[in-house]
C-alpha cells in the first residue's frame, strides 16, 4: 500500500469544505486529496480549485479516479446509494453520521462494505478530542470509583431554512436527536460503557419544521449508572455550554465546550478518593479541582489519520461502520420510546 491514502470526497460543500478537507485531509500526514464531487456544479468547482483537487462530474467519475478511499459528507438520504457505489468500486469509505435515515439503511451499508472487503468508518470525530479520551481513560482506570451518572449536552440555534435536510425527516432521518444526539450518545458510551435501556422525549418547542428541534433522553447503563442527553436546535449558541459531566463514587469530571466541532473546551476533575465517611452537613469546600488539559488535537485530522492507518496498516478501525450501526440503533430506540411513551430495552 502507498504511504498516503488518496481521498475523494462526496458532498464537497458543508462540513467537508468547512472542516474535514481543510483541517483533516490536507493536514493529515497520511492523506492526499484527489477529487471532489457535489451536486452544485459551480460550488464543486470552487471547492476543487480552492483545495487543488479535480472536480468530478458524477460519482462514477469520482470513483474512476485513482483513489483509495472516499469521504461521504452529503445529506443523509443519498448515503446508502453513495456508500454502495464506492464499495462496489473497491474504495474504502468514511461516511458522516448518521449513516442512514434508519437502521435498515445503515445495515445495508455495513453489509455492502463487508461484501466488497473494504474498510468502512463513521464520522464520530468527537471520540478523538484529547480531553474526551483523557476522561474515558480516567474512568477506565477507576479514578471516579463506581460510575454513577453521566450527562452530555449539545445545542445550537438552527432556524427554519428551505431545503435544510436536518429539518426534514425524509431527508435526514430526524432533527436535533439524529444530528446532535448521535455524538452525545456515542461519547457517553465511550466514557461510561454501553446503554442498557432508555426513555426519550422529542418536541417541536420553538421551530415549526417537521423534524424535532428538542430532545431529551434518560439512560440506564449496563454498569448500573444513569445518564441523560439533552440536545436542542432552538437554544442560542452562546447560551448552551455543551457540557459533559461524569460522576462516580470518588468524584466527578466536568467539562464545558468540549462537545462540538473544535478542539477547545475546559475540563476539571474533582476527586475525593476517601468518600466513605458521611457528612451530615454536606460541607462543600473551595473548588480545588484538577485541570485536565492534554495537548489539543484537531479531531478531523485525527479522524482522517486514524482511518488512514486502518487502510494502510490494517490497524484496528477506531470508528467502524459497526459503531455507526450501533449508534443508529440507539437513536431508533430513542424515537421508538418518544413515539410509544415506553422505556426501551436495548437487545443488541
Condensed to tens digits (0 to 9), the pLDDT of residues 84-130 reads: 999 999 999 999 999 999 999 999 999 999 999 999 999 999 999 99
Residue 278 has pLDDT above 60, yes or no: no
How high is the pLDDT of residue 288?
76
Phi-psi region of 314 (alpha: psi -120 to 50; beta: other; left: phi over 0): left
Grid coordinates given for 241? 455550554
* Inside any domain, residue 218: yes
Residues 309 and 250 in one domain: no
Only one residue has cell 485530522, namely: 301
The residue-averaged pLDDT of 164-172 equals 97
Residues 193 and 219 in one domain: yes
Residues 187 and 227 in one domain: yes
Grid coordinates given for 51? 483545495
* Inside any domain, residue 241: yes
CATH of the domain at 48: 3.40.50.720
CA distance 330 to 77: 19
- Spell out the SS3 assignment of the chain: CCCCEEEEEECCCHHHHHHHHHHHHCCCCCEEEEEEECCCHHHHHHHHHHHCCEECCCHHHHHCCCCCEEEECCCCCCHHHHHHHHHHCCCEEEECCCCCCCHHHHHHHHHHHHHHCCCEEECCHHHHCHHHHHHHHHHHCCCCCCEEEEEEEEECECCCCCCCHHHCHHHHCCCHHHHHHHHHHHHHHHHHCCEEEEEEEEECCCCCCCCCCEEEEEEEECCCCEEEEEEECECCHHHCCCEEEEEECCEEEEEECCCCCCCCCEEEEEECCCCCCCCCCCCCCCCCCEECCCCCCCHHHHHHHHHHHHHHHCCCCCCEHHHHHHHHHHHHHHHHHHHHCCCEECCC
Report pLDDT digits (tens) over 65-81.
Answer: 999 999 999 999 999 99
| Cis ω before 98 (30° cut-off from 0) | yes
Grid coordinates given for 337? 420510546
CA distance 184 to 68: 31
Residues 120 and 148 in one domain: no
CA distance 8 to 234: 34
Residues 154 and 179 in one domain: yes
* Inside any domain, residue 20: yes
Q: Do 264 and 296 form a contact (C-beta atoms < 8 A)?
A: yes
Domain total for the chain?
Answer: 2
Q: What is each CA distance from 148 to 71, 113, 216, 218, 251, in whole angstroms?
A: 37, 38, 19, 14, 10
How high is the pLDDT of residue 2?
63
State the average pLDDT for the chain. Answer: 95
How high is the pLDDT of residue 18?
96
Confidence class of residue 272 from pLDDT cuts 50, 70 and 90? Answer: confident
* Inside any domain, residue 47: yes
CA distance 302 to 323: 17
Report the candidate in 116, 89, 87, 90 with the shortest Cα–Cα distance to residue 99. 87
Residues 67 and 203 in one domain: no
CATH of the domain at 170: 3.30.360.10
* Inside any domain, residue 286: yes
How high is the pLDDT of residue 287?
66
Only one residue has cell 448518521, namely: 98
Domain span at residue 58 reads 5-125+303-319
Residues 145 and 273 in one domain: yes
Q: Do 167 and 211 form a contact (C-beta atoms < 8 A)?
A: yes
Q: Do 242 and 256 form a contact (C-beta atoms < 8 A)?
A: yes
Residue 1 has pLDDT above 80, yes or no: no
* Inside any domain, residue 149: yes
Report pLDDT digits (tens) over 185-208.
Answer: 999 999 999 999 999 999 999 999
Residue 283 has pLDDT above 70, yes or no: no
Residues 199 and 58 in one domain: no
CA distance 32 to 7: 6
Residues 15 and 138 in one domain: no
Grid coordinates given for 27? 493536514
Report pLDDT digits (tens) over 284-302.
Answer: 555 679 999 999 999 999 9
Residues 271 and 285 in one domain: yes
Residues 114 and 18 in one domain: yes
Residues 291 and 310 in one domain: no
CA distance 274 to 278: 11
Amino acid at each position: 500500500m502507498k504511504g498516503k491514502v488518496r481521498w475523494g470526497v462526496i458532498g464537497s460543500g458543508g462540513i467537508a469544505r468547512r472542516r474535514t478537507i481543510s483541517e483533516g485531509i490536507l493536514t493529515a500526514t497520511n492523506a492526499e486529496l484527489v477529487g471532489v464531487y457535489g451536486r452544485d456544479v459551480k460550488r464543486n468547482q470552487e471547492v476543487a480549485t480552492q483545495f487543488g483537487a479535480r472536480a468530478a462530474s458524477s460519482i462514477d467519475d469520482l470513483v474512476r479516479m485513482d483513489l483509495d478511499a472516499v469521504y461521504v459528507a452529503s445529506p443523509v438520504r443519498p448515503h446508502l446509494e453513495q456508500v454502495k457505489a464506492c464499495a462496489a468500486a473497491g474504495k474504502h469509505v468514511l461516511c458522516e453520521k448518521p449513516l442512514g435515515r434508519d437502521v435498515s439503511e445503515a445495515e445495508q451499508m455495513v453489509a455492502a462494505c463487508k461484501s466488497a472487503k473494504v474498510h468502512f468508518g463513521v464520522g464520530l470525530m468527537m471520540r478523538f478530542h484529547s480531553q474526551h479520551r483523557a476522561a474515558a481513560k480516567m474512568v477506565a482506570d477507576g479514578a471516579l470509583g463506581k460510575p454513577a451518572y453521566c450527562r452530555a449536552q449539545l445545542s445550537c440555534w438552527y432556524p427554519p431554512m428551505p431545503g435544510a435536510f436536518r429539518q426534514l425527516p425524509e431527508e435526514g432521518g430526524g432533527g436535533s436527536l439524529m444530528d446532535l444526539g448521535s455524538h452525545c450518545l456515542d461519547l457517553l458510551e465511550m466514557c461510561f460503557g454501553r446503554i442498557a435501556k432508555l426513555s426519550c422525549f422529542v418536541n417541536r418547542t420553538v421551530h415549526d419544521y417537521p423534524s424535532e428541534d428538542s430532545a431529551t433522553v434518560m439512560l440506564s447503563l449496563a454498569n448500573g449508572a444513569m445518564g441523560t442527553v439533552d440536545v436542542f436546535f432552538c437554544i442560542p449558541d452562546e447560551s448552551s455550554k455543551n457540557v459533559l459531566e461524569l460522576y462516580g463514587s470518588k468524584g466527578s469530571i466536568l467539562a464545558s465546550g468540549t462537545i462540538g466541532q473544535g478542539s477547545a473546551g475546559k475540563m476539571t476533575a474533582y476527586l475525593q478518593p476517601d468518600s466513605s465517611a458521611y457528612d451530615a452537613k454536606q460541607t462543600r469546600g473551595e473548588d480545588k479541582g484538577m485541570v485536565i488539559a492534554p495537548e489539543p488535537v484537531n479531531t478531523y485530522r485525527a479522524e482522517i489519520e486514524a482511518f488512514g492507518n486502518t487502510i494502510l496498516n490494517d490497524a484496528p478501525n477506531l470508528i467502524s461502520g459497526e459503531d455507526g450501526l450501533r449508534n443508529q440503533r440507539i437513536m431508533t430506540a430513542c424515537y421508538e420510546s418518544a413515539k410509544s411513551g415506553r422505556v426501551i430495552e436495548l437487545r443488541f
